[in-house]
Structure 1
Amino acid sequence: MKKHIITAAFAATLFCSVASAQEFKGDITLGYSAFWDEMSVNRISGEGAFEFGLSDRASVQLDLGLFGFGASNAEGTNLVLHGIYDVNPQGSAGAFLGVDDVDGSSVNFYGVEYGQSFGTGGVEVYLARGKEAGVTGTVIGVEGKFALSEQFGLGVKLDNADFDGAVDVTRLGVKGIYALGQGSSVFAEVGSVRADAFGLTGSEAFVGVGLSIEMGGEEATFGRRGLLSLIPGL
């Protein structure tokens, strides 16, 4: 765990130093989520995405996440590196490598992704393969964000992780977003998780709230990847 935290901190410092000389954008999000029927099963998270351009069409994005889980007292980290190519002004394709770590137990994964913007919103999809406890599995997801007005937005996200029965998680969340100005926004989320993993079984409703701050005038191209982003609490 400590090794991953030190690595993440070093990577963030190096990344931001290089990005200062390049076209840079990104976002930082602080969040809290919990299961509706048992609020002690919760998660506090701090996540950042930092992206800088390599050329007119190519860029690199680094995601870092720190997680604290209330009921289990577990701690987790997430580190993901994306390579991104802008297919056209509205569409971007990417490939990524990442690792989740919870108290020394790691899940390595890799995958591909695509995002398309249009009018007042955009959608993105991804497909990942990973290995947990020696079992290889697949994670897929789709997310859409839509502006309802200058201040209000709506987000919908569906993810599924299946590691041959060792890990089976399906998460559906609907998010309301309110812009505060100057690149900052707050959000509230409701949803449901069906899980057979990490000591969780069955379906449970969850709620979440958070604060997001854009850097460089725009959020990073792609959203979060990894199992830790799917679990509202442990």
Structure 2
Amino acid sequence: MKPCKICALACALAIAAPATHAVEFHGGDVSLSFSRFEDDLIGPSSSTSFGKTAVQGSFQFDLTPDFGVQVDASYFEFNRVDQSEVSLGLHGIYYLDWATAVGVYYTHEELLSSNVDELGVEGSRSFALFDIEANLGWAEYRGDHATVLGLQADYELQPQLFMGLGLDHADFDGATELTRVGVGIDYAVTDSLRLSGELGVTDATVMGSSADDIFIEIGASYAFGTSEGARFSRRGLLDRLPGL
């Protein structure tokens, strides 16, 4: 599926909405983040530049009180390999109740001149002090197929301070595996503006050989709309990579 087909599918979903319910803008967010591996910070090859720069946005529209669509767009710059990449995503969202949502998603990306396509299911649940989100997907890259798992939990430490724990895993037919685990802190400057930081580790296994890398990520995001943000996180392989 090409990127233009994502837009066509979104339009088809909007047309399919009942005429008695007007399409409403639910919310969205834009963000800027920088990440780098530990190897970029220390040693003779240390650099002051970041391994990855990401400019991202998500926008959600409610077609009915129970159903909505979310569109994601991301631009990445990977300094190590001197590559710029783009990721586009689409979610179909169904609300079981005000706190629970399930959905399906599709992402299309360009990675090192090859397409990455991912299709999956997802769900989220909000509680009094914490939120949890999970996804299960299937991706294809250069003829290889992968099973993708993701889990994110966020806990409100104080009214303006939040702690998050994230886990992502991709298994390409058992030959290549990538796991990312991170712990993050978000500070709400205002109801809309947040500053974030994350410390984590990635483990890559290729044909039985594995390597671990510690990474850091800092960023800022601005949420807007009636719900101040979109329901689901952005998906895709490029979003999971701290750098290349």
Q: Same fold (TM over 0.5)?
A: yes
Q: Does 1:186 align with 2:226?
A: no
Tell me the TM-score normalised to structure 1 length: 0.88
CA distance in 2, matches of 1:166, 1:214: 39
Deviation string, structure 1 residues 71-128 (Cα, Å, up to 9, x no partner)? 1101111111000000111100000111121242111110000100000221011000
- 1:30 and 2:32 equivalent? yes
Find the residue that maps to 1:30 and give its secondary structure: strand
Percent of counterpart pairs with the same letter?
32
Q: 1:221 aligns with which of 217, 231, 234?
A: 231
Write the distance in 2 (CA, Å) between the matches of 1:201 and 1:108.
25
Checking the alignment, whether the CA contact within 8 Å between 1:135 and 1:166 is kept in structure 2 is no
- CA apart distance, 1:167: 3.5
Among candidates 132, 139, 153, match of residue 148 of structure 2: 139
- CA–CA separation in structure 2 for the residues paired with 1:59 and 1:104: 32
Once residues 174 and 151 of structure 1 are traced to their aligned partners in structure 2, the CA distance between those partners, rounded to angstroms, is 17
Matches within 5 A, 1:16-165: 22-39=24-41, 40=47, 42-165=51-174
Unpaired segments ≥5 residues, structure 2: 15-21, 42-46
- Would the alpha carbon gap of residues 167 and 74 (structure 1) be closer, same or farther in structure 2, given more than 3 Å must change? farther
1:232 aligns with 2:242: yes
Q: TM-score, normalised by structure 2?
A: 0.84
In structure 2, the residue matched to 1:177 is 186
* Equivalent residues of 1:27, 1:48 under 8 A apart: yes
After the TM superposition, list the runs of 4 or more consecutive aligned residues in structure 1 that deviate by more than 4 angstroms. Answer: none
Q: Name the CA distance, whole Å, in 2 between partners of 1:138 and 1:127.
A: 8
Flag the 1:51–1:92 CA change in 2: closer, same or farther, 3 A.
same
In 2, are the aligned partners of 1:160 and 1:169 still within 8 Å (CA)? yes
Matched residue SS, 1:37: helix
Displacement of 1:131 in angstroms is 1.0
CA RMSD of aligned residues (A): 2.3
